[in-house]
Structure 1
Amino acid sequence: MTTHQPCDSLTLIFSLTPSLSIKVLNGDSQALIGYRPDELDAWENWQQNLVHADDMSLIADLSKAQKTTPYSFHLRLRHGISQRIEIFKATLCAHQGHNELSLRLQNVKSLFEPENTLTHHQAFQAMMKNATGDLVCFKDCNHVYTATSQTLASIASPNLNWSDLLGLTSYDVLPESLADQEYQLEQSIYSGQVAAQKLLNFTQENDTIWLDARKYQVTDSAGHLSGLFGIAYIITERIQTEQALALEKNHFRTLLNSISDLIWFKDAQGRFQSCNPAFETFIGQSEAEIAGKTDQQLMPEVIANTLKKYDEITLKSKKPTMHEAWLPKLNGQHEVLLSITQTALLDPDGNVYGILSVAHDITQHWEDEQHLAESQIQLEKAQSVAGIGSWTLEVSDNLLCWSNETYRIFGLPAGSPIDIASFFQRIHPDDLEMVKSTWEKAVRKQTLYEVEHRILVNDKVRWVQETCEFSFDHEGTLLRALGTVQDITERKEHEQQLQYLAHFDALTNLPNRVLLADRLHLAMHQALRRNSQLSVVYLDLDGFKEINDEYGHDVGDRLLTTIAQRMQHALRDGDTLARLGGDEFVAVLVDVQSPQASEMIFNRLLAAAYKPVMEGEHILRVSASLGATYYPQAEDIDADQLLRQADQAMYQAKLAGKNCFHLFDTQKDRLLRNYNADISSITNALTHDEFILYYQPKVNMKTGEVIGVEALIRWQHPEQGLLSPLDFLPVISGHELSIDLGNWVIKTAMQQIEYWKSINIRLPISVNIDALHLESPNFVTHLKMLLETHPNIEHGDLELEVLESSALDNLSHVSNVIKACHELGIGFALDDFGTGYSSLIYLKRLPANLIKIDQGFVRDMLEDTEDLAIIQGVLGLSNAFGRDTIAEGVETILHGERLLKLGCLLGQGYGIARPMPAEEIENWLKTWQPDASWTQ
């Protein structure tokens, strides 16, 4: 780039390429716009950073221009660390070359000519006489002030005189946001408009100032544009008023729209002006559609005439009026009853200019009143049928009035004189105080008076129910009472009968299950409080069903009644005998001094049941099976659990031969409950995927080859953390849950094999199988189904390990299962070989491919010669039977060296790798190397 000598202006060269790169030909660019030539030359996006956003379109226009007409635009200059906006005059000029155009830029303030202000100043002086309070200015064609009013100078700064603004632009004296708006408005004048107007605003001391700015062309004597005249009115107060009115109008409209009642406005001639959405819905038309129309234009004649009549009444009275009318909804729905309130709208002179109408739908209220009236009639009829009497009491004169039904209920002739004293005389003496206190309490608290009590009618006791409401004055003094009375004697007798039946057995009159529960809870509470012991006894009659079937239910019922009476006599005072139903009874023995004392009562109960019963010529005999338990116990226990314990003990007595008793074993029960809880927890863990598989590699210690991994199950317990197999597998040994868990392990192992194959890892997995699982009838069938759902499992990918110490009940069946698995490509191994009692039999009869030497022998082989001898023997047997052998428990390098010397090449243990999650196997395979002493 060539830089010419400085001159009074800066020429910018634009290439015709889309990038519009800039090149400085001459002039002091740094002095003029704040940037050195080399900065401009290297600046690819100079337009976006230098040219004001309002003038970006001029840059493209300049590149297409063919004439030398001056352009005016403003740039954002750099002066030190700050930036300011200056307005420049741009003129096209000739330049050598065909692919470039030259542009001369001049700061418009340098073109300011004081002599040009004379004409503007003279006109300004004349104008100021009529516009001294407004913001007034003259500008030349370069946006430079040539005359201003003092008010404009004061807007810029209180200390400025209007003459200080001469020769400056808006960007020198006004906030940038306001100067931008001024510039846009002035551009309209310079582009040919005779006049332009715009509302401007800017912020001054945190307040927004609004201006109504207007610009006009100023021409010279020849009619050429020589500048502009501007005048701006401060309209902040007007704008604020308009905004407040708009906000208030919006609030009013929002309130109007939120009201569910119908609201509409009409002018004095009955033409609709506006309405709310509820009225739009009612009439089926929008506000815009009804505006300017009358009732006659929108509604049927009958409705229109009705509303017009209401309007005339309101207009005439000039006061709020209220009307009710049935009107059909004009959107096609049913007729509704409206309560219409109308208000005449008056101007300050008292003349009506409109009507405001508000209508509330009271259809439901009217319907409720109708239903209430109908209900009142029905209630009166029902009270007559039901025999309900009514009465009133006027407190001021102590006047008590009864209806005819009330007289009948109290056994008095209708119309007989009656007062409070005579009423109290007819209340049963045992209920009198209760009735009085209930009355006084209701009056004191001003609540409903409700009471049930007995009365004496002709020396007979009757039950009545009374209800009344009170009326009080503003000081809370009772004025009157209105009540009803009903004879409820039959209901009370029925309730007493039901109460007995709810607690006693109808056949034997013994307490039933409900009363037994109450008495048992009470006896348990007393035992704890007295530090004593009780016994719960469960009895079931043996042979009763046969007698009942042979001789009939009547005979059976009499037999039960007789035995119940005998067993009742066999108990002590304070003990309880209850019938649960059928031939089952429960006795609660309280204050048991010793087991021997309670056993004497057990034997008396057995004897009472066993004693024959004569039924005509027949001798009937049954026995009883009795189960018992004691309370308190070592563990906290409730009444239902006590009954279940006694029931379980009774069942054991039946198994023992009947006609005897059996005591519940709490310790055995606790172990059983713990076992069931463990089974439930493990089942829940399997359901919620809490089990995971770890994998321990198996290797050829001599070559370092990884021959596979053994899947070892772990339980990721949500509370106890990671649990080992010893924490849960012994619990499910021999339980069907072990089959479900075994199937899960096989399925998960197959999924892992397929995943490893997908990332090019061929790694067989061996899985431990419980004996119960292996001997299950569907083992092979289920295994086939799993293989079908995992088609990528190949021969040799999966191996099953069965513990040599497992008690296999059917070796022939297991042998066939193993052979079937071989046909499916699944191998078998005898795990923990040498720890059971049938090692040689298993080795001979089970066609396993691999023998795993138990880690207990391997771990101690370096110190225990007997363990070493066992290992040598197992290796000898394996060779003799043609089986492969792998040693578990290889925990050190020395273990591996010794095993290799014995001829055992395969190993597994912590000396090779610990069990690890599946995601760690891949990294282990990359880093695994056998010890050098093994491979020598």
Structure 2
Amino acid sequence: MKHLLQTLLGSISQGIYLLDEDGRVCLYNDRLCELLDIPRSFLDSHPTLAEMNAFQMQRGDFGKDANLVDDHARQYVLAGGKGPIPTHFLRLTRAGLTLEVRSRQLPNGGMVRTFSDVSDYVQAEAGRKRANELLYATQAIAEMGGWEIDYLNHQVTWTDGVYRIFDTTAQSFQPTLESTRKLFTPEALLIVDASYNDSQTQPKTHEFEIEMITLTGRHIWVHSRGTSVWSEGRIIKRTAIVQDITRRKQTELALRDSEARWKLALESVGDGVWDLQVQTGEEYLSPQLLRMYGYAEGELPTEMGEMDMRTHPEDLAKMQHDRQAHLDGHSSTYSNEHRVRCKDGNWKWVHSRGMVISRDAQGRPLRMIGTHTDITERKTAEALIWQQAHFDILTGLPNRRMMQERLAQELKKCRRDNLQLAVLFIDLDHFKEVNDTLGHDQGDTLLMEAARRIQACLREVDTVARMGGDEFIVIITELSDAAHLQTILPKLLNTLSASFQLGHDQVYVSASVGVTVYPIDGHTIEDLFKNADQALYVAKDAGRNRFSFFTPALQKAARERAQLMSDLRTALVAQEFRVVFQPIVELATGAIHKAEALVRWLHPIRGLISPAAFIPVAESSGLIVEIGEWVFAQAARQVKHWRKTLHPQFQISVNKSPVQFENPNPKHTSWIEQLNELGLPGDSIVVEITEGLLLSTSGGVLDQLLSLRDEGINVSLDDFGTGYSSLSYLQRFDIDFVKIDQSFVRQLVAGSTDLALCQAIIAMAHALGMKVIAEGVETELQRDLLAAAGCDYGQGYLFSRPVAAEEFEALFSPSISGN
């Protein structure tokens, strides 16, 4: 009998030891030695509980002052196992495992104690809580009957399961706050009322087992678990799942009275037990195991094949292989995780463990016993955590992590089969405008539709992933020739430039695509990503709605851009920037009362760097904010000087980047305050903005523009005619000056289309109360044609290049119309 018991103990997943009536260890299993790291030689000496405790305490197993043990059991451990025995507590091991310790005294005065490794469960539970609140609710509520109490509306709601538990029906009984109190025993009412009255800690969850009385007078045990909503110190709603655990309670009582200590040990851990006669295939399934799958005793034939038939097809081969390997003696124990179909058709994940306990003289297995442990909740949590870790929640596409894993596999395949693949970086153009104008919900709808369109352009073997925001990555696999991309890329551009119907709104975006090819451009994921990103940058910089292939020249340009950004970060501190001024001439008189402040960068090694080269880099990095502030400060001081020495109404125009409007530095003194400190009026400065800024729906941008107007600072619209301007924008923002872009002036001759456009712009601006400045005036003919068209001001090399302040003062005269 003892050998059988020892064999049974060896098949279960928990560590266990039994104390005899003298309080000494009489039985234990190998799992106990593994979990507690206690040598068999020590246990074979039949130590007492106090000796066991002292052995572990001396090694520091319980931590300093037993801090690795649950609070309620700490004093028991520190007392060497003396005093009331806690039936259940958690402890940590030095190896980092979380063990659930359960103790139960036996009728003969002995005790059984089990140790369960719940580390995976604890970790999965923490992951589930972080991953999703809904997952927590799903695990916190069992599938029995639902009981909800709404204290604000004085309503009690039961599901059909609760009516069945209490031997009644919805037609026979109306649950209310008052009528349901008679279902509780006095002891149960004390427990429940205490949970309602705990206004100090206001627990959001509850779990207890209580004795209750059905409508027919039958006493039952109920397990209740659920959540509570508190408001101003009282519960306003409680939602719970109640489960009739009467049979389990009765079983526990019967087990406590049973002399079969091994059965008590097995049932105490809650696993279902199976007992297989290997040669005949006859298999005994315990009532607990049958209930686990929704069956009653006697419902299933006692044949091994019955459970195999209910094993998931995807798991069956592995399960049978692992079981046979143990039967053949290739493994010390049998262990396998698989899915079993329940009576209701649902699948339940179980961990099956077992061991052959007898063999014949030839070594053939005769009898094998084991257990089934329900691990469905853990598997569900793991699956959800994996899903959320690898897929984008909004679009359902693979995320960056999943995409990198797939790309790594595809690269291995390409190396093996000598194939090519392409990586595409896709960025939606103007998505921000849609998001800002129509809201994030419509923006999300657009992203989901864009994801669908991209997938529709690809083959099943290709992969599209969302990187976040409006960025997607596509992997085109099994390329025998990169020329195949010339078919896919235009298709992608066309489908993404077609209209998107977002509710009642029809919007248009486009896409910029950066393309790199393995192995032509690179061999590693990092290199391919870097190359595709550089190609994408070129596509966007070239006007968007296009694709660009990576070339070595792009790599060189990217390195130069990175070096430029690095140098920019120190240029302001090193005083490498200079401000120059270009006169703005009144065409009717030739007078100069205005100038535009322009920044120049004198690099200590590379010399003078064009603004066209460093301004985009400064904007993309955000450094333009600091540079712009410095330029304004220089211009403000200069206009104060020139108002004294050149003209009392002198104005200087200062360019302000959209980045400065969108990302102002709150530590900077506002431009208006700086002018006030210098004693300058607002009209001493003109702020030049671009047409794209007028499309911004940001409240901060609008407030800044209106604030400039209120303080008298003029606003000039730069490069007019090349962007998105409309009359409504011009009226909305009170523009003072319109600057005709030099592209209209460059080819200006009598009778030309450009002249007609300039005349139209001038007429429109004057009708709206604005003045006009023509940029890029380089010839006397251009000046004369513009003056004849009524243009107010001219700016360009005909009058002067941008020059330092000292040279500018030398240009000043009442008229330079002949220069």
TM range (shorter): 0.3 to 0.5
TM-score by length of 2: 0.35
Instruction: With a CA cutoff of 8 Å and minimum separation of 6, indicate the structure with the bigger relative contact order.
Output: 2
TM-score by length of 1: 0.31
Higher Rg: 1
